[in-house]
Structures are given as C-alpha cells and as structure tokens.
Amino acid sequence: MTTMTYREAVRAALREALSTDERVFLMGEDVGRYGGAFAVSHGLLEEFGPERVRDTPLSESAFVGAGIGAALGGLRPIVEVMTVNFSLLALDQIVNNAAAIRYMSGGQFSVPLVVRMATGGGRQLAAQHSHSLEVWYAHVPGIRVLAPATVADARWMLPAALLEQDPVFLFEHATLYPLEGEVDEAAGPAGLDRAAVRREGGDVTVVAWGGSLGTALAAAEALAGEGVSAEVIDLRTLRPLDLETVLASLAKTHRVVLVDESWRTCGLAAEVSARIMEQGFDLLDWPAQRVCSAEVPMPYAKHMEEAALPRADTIVAAVRETLA
C-alpha cells in the first residue's frame, strides 16, 4: 500500500493511461502549461507533450464535442471540464450527442469518451462554482456516472472508465484533492457495478457518495459515541445505481438516511428513496430521511455556506429522527 493524495491518485491514473495507451489524450482548459486548475495534471505536459496534454480555449461545447468526435474517430479522449457548473455550456454535446449517438445510430457507433470534472461546495466559491449537479447527468440514459470518494477509487476508477465503450463522467469533489489515503498500486481497474460498505453497522444505514462520504463517516463516528451503530454506504456509481447493496444493508438496519449535496428537489436522494420504496418498502421501519443542500444558489459567507451544506450534525439529527 502507498499513501498518496486524491490529486496524486488521479494524476497517477492519468499518467498510467497516457503511458500505456497511445489512443489516450487529455484535453481541457489549463490542463497543460498551467498544470490543471486543481493541479491534477501538473507535470504531464512536460512528460507527454502538447499534442496529448492539450490546452483548449474556453469553449466547453466545442472541446467536449471534439472529445466525442475523437472517440468516434478511434481515440480514447479524457476531457477535463474545470467544474460542473462550467459543464452546463457543453450540455448540448453531452445529452444530445454523446449519450444518444449509440442509440440513434442503431448501435453502429459508440462513444468511448471519459469526462472528468470537479464538483461540490465548501470552498466559499459562491453560486457559480459550488454546485453538485451530478444528478443532471445521472438522469440521462446512455452515459455512466462515477463519483470516486476515496483515494483508491480516484486511482482506479479512471482506468476502469477507459475500458468502457460508452461515455463515462467522473465527478471529483473539489474538497477531496488534498485528502490522503492508502492505495494498492497493484489493484488494477476498479469494479464499477457495486456500491461499497465503508463502515459496517447494524442500527441505521447512511448512504452517501463523493464529497459527502467523509461527512457521513464523521457522523457515524459521532453516533458511535452515542451507542448508535451506523452502516455507511458509498454509492460510487450514480448511474447505473446499485440498489442491491443498499437493500442488503436495510435488511439489517431497517432505517436509512440519504446524504446528497445536491438540492433536495428532484435530487439523487429522491431517486434512491423512490427505489427503496419500490423494491424495499417492507424493509423499512421508518420513512427514508434526506439530508441535502438548502434550496439556494450557494452563498459566499462561510457560516451561510456551512448552513446550506449537509454536515455531520445534520446527518446525526436525521439518524436520531429515524430512531425516535
């Protein structure tokens, strides 16, 4: 096992992909000379040159679309979009083209494109750099949506994404980049089909992903001090969802709290909750509880942003509700 940061893990995955597969190239805003807005691709330009570590103009629609075209043309592009808020400028290419081309061509063409982007709040960046819009992508058939929450997944989900024949979107919560963790350098591409139990427990199930996993684990630790044993599940793959792991946990705990940094209305927690109702209604002793972001454009002031985001204490309160 090697200790590294989440940022270093993504970089190691990129370096490996660029080294081992000549079809792979990285493109996006400031990925090259600047070294990446989050310093993820630092040093890769020097190692692989400007053709394969390609700085783009501020043209999200064109360079995401060019990624689709390059994938159709036989390459394995990795496109970095600086943040999920910026990716909205490329939604036409993503929804109308990347997700649809395989189906509307009758299966003749597939689009093996990987798109990475930073997501999430907690950095006082206000209403245009802080949102968690993963669910907008998870809504769309034809694409796979991943949320690596651990350093190990940051290292090994990208190579797994590059093995897929269809578009894969990786959401990297921006507060995770400096996080340190253990990585098995020999592990190989991660499985993408299953959620993971990150902490075992018997009293309540807490479901989280991405940047909220750490918050959920902190809440579980606090609950342990109160004698409540919480099982924490990391969804990992947001589309397609692995509900089996959640239901297996519910069979034990019969209570569930869903932590979702996106807005509550029409969020992913709503989808998971609906599926639990459809497939696991009899398992529940209490209605599923949701801890989501407040329904506001993200405020700048620190205390207001904290009030808007899911926190360990709000998760603990929701758990107490299910145990009432």
Partner 1 sequence: MTAAAKAGRAHALELLRELLLIRRFEEKAAELYSLGKIRGFLHLYIGEEAVGVGAMQALRPEDAVVATYRDHGHALARGIDPGSLMAEMYGKANGCSRGRGGSMHFFDAERRFYGGYAIVGGGLPIAVGLALADRLRGIERVTACFFGEGAVAEGEFHESLNLAALWRLPVLFLCENNLYAMGTALERSESQPDLRLKAQSYAIPAEAVDGMDVLAVERAVRSGAEVVRGGAPYFLELRTYRFRAHSMADPDLYRTREEVERWKERDPIALFEASLRAQGLLADDDLAGIEAAVAAEIDAAVAVAEAGPWEPVEDLLADVTTPR
The residue ranges that bind partner 1 (CB under 8 A) are 25, 51-52, 56-57, 59, 61-75, 77, 92-93, 96-97, 101-110, 141-142, 144, 164-166
**Choice among 8, 80, 129, 173 that is catalytic:** 129
**Radius of gyration in angstroms for the set of CA atoms belonging to the chain, rounded to a whole number:** 19
Give whichever of 142 and 181 is closer to partner 1, judged by the CB atom: 142
List all residues 6 or more positions away from 289 whose beta carbon is below 8 Å from its beta carbon: 256, 257, 258, 318, 319, 321, 322
Is 306 catalytic? The answer is: no
Give residue 152's identity as a one-letter amino acid code: A
**Choice among 60, 80, 134, 271 that is catalytic:** 60
> Burial of 52 by CB count in 10 Å (0-12 exposed, 13-18 middle, 19+ buried)?
middle
Closest CA to 209 of 280, 144, 132, 263: 132
- Number of Cβ atoms within 10 Å of the Cβ of 209: 29
Shortest separation between residue 142's beta carbon and partner 1, angstroms: 5
Give whichever of 121 and 142 is closer to partner 1, judged by the CB atom: 142
Shortest separation between residue 150's beta carbon and partner 1, angstroms: 23
CA 214 – CA 227 distance, rounded (Å)? 20
Do 232 and 198 form a contact (C-beta atoms < 8 A)? Answer: yes
Shortest separation between residue 59's beta carbon and partner 1, angstroms: 4
Give residue 18's identity as a one-letter amino acid code: L
DSSP, res 311: -
> For 41, what's the count of Cα atoms within 13 Å in the CB-facing half-sphere?
34
Shortest separation between residue 169's beta carbon and partner 1, angstroms: 13
Give whichever of 34 and 103 is closer to partner 1, judged by the CB atom: 103
Give whichever of 140 and 247 is closer to partner 1, judged by the CB atom: 140
Shortest separation between residue 164's beta carbon and partner 1, angstroms: 8
Is 60 catalytic? The answer is: yes
Give whichever of 71 and 149 is closer to partner 1, judged by the CB atom: 71
Active-site residue list? 60, 129
